[in-house]
A and B are shown apart, each in its own frame.
Chain A
Amino acid sequence: MASAIADTSFLIDWIRYSKSRLIFRLFEVIYIPESVLTEIRSERSLTWIAEGLEEGGLAIFPELPDISREALNLVARSRRLPIRPVDYPEAFCLVAGRRLDLTVLTENGGAIALASYDPEYSNVKILRGIDILYLLWRSGLINSFKDELEIYQQETKHIYSRRDLDRYREHLK
């Protein structure tokens, strides 16, 4: 089973989903970088993280200087482009994902865009909430991908664009 690293944009949406704990069945461990943990203060999010840490599904990823330096370079590089840049916590996840072969869990457009245009990061496996729901369905952990996606969007108030939904067109009929 693979391990993953989650950024703030992913966690703040995913935690609102009523079946959010199913994600622990897909990954050996999900790392949360220190820089992400410091951004989270609400009771619901902290409770979810504390329980995940207690049960071993989550682990804190330390602020390693090598990864941190490369993440800062990535932030600077992305700022030169006329599209949404990647912020430090998301950049940290991308660098850690590339170096340690971790799946990156993100909903951040800047991070997703970067992986599509920067050849150094094109091999990093990035999953969003919709992709996790698909994997849960393929693993038999949820009954209907289509219904669950609807529930997920209602509960989390995350809207996937037509473009995102088109990737799963065949499974959403």
Chain B
Amino acid sequence: MSEKILKEWIERFKEAREIRRRYANWDFIRSQPPKIRIALEYYIETGDFRTAAKMSNMSVDEFIEIAKESANIPTVD
């Protein structure tokens, strides 16, 4: 992979993380039990909904539903 493409993708994923951080309802996230709180924080930092869903012991779409509707974390990639 060329360095230019690599840098571009690193930048894109960084921007996506900033958007998730900015929109997130941190009061809701901090009020959650540890398993869900850590999963939501991990999702904000990485965008990896699959591992986050496993951490919280939910299916992928159930986790995304909570992330979007309650924690106000948009999907952005």
Contacts and interface: CB of A to CB of B under 8 A. Distances in A.
Interface of A: 8-9, 12-13, 39-42, 45, 81-84, 87, 107-109, 112-113, 116-118, 156-161, 163
A113 B5 CA distance: 9
A82 B14 CA distance: 12
Q: Is the interface of A mostly helix, strand, loop or mixed?
A: loop
B12 A161 contact: yes
Given A157-B68, A161-B12, A8 B75 contact: no
A42 B12 contact: no
Contact of A161 (B2, B15, B60): B15
A81 B65 CA distance: 30
Contact of B48 (A12, A84, A113, A117): A84
15 contacts: A9-B75, A12-B75, A39-B59, A41-B59, A42-B65, A82-B6, A84-B9, A116-B9, A117-B2, A117-B9, A157-B74, A158-B76, A161-B16, A161-B19, A161-B76
A12 B62 CA distance: 10
B77 A112 contact: yes
Interface in B1-60: 1-2, 5-6, 9-10, 12-13, 15-16, 19, 23, 46-50, 59-60
Given A42-B61, A83-B10, A157-B69, 14 more contacts: A8-B61, A12-B61, A39-B50, A39-B59, A40-B60, A40-B61, A41-B62, A83-B6, A107-B75, A112-B77, A116-B5, A117-B2, A159-B19, A161-B76
Nearest to A87: B50
Tell which of B9, B12, B49 has the most Cβ of chain A within 10 Å: B9
Nearest to A39: B60
Contacts of B12: 109, 113, 161, 163
B76 A160 contact: yes
A109 B64 contact: no
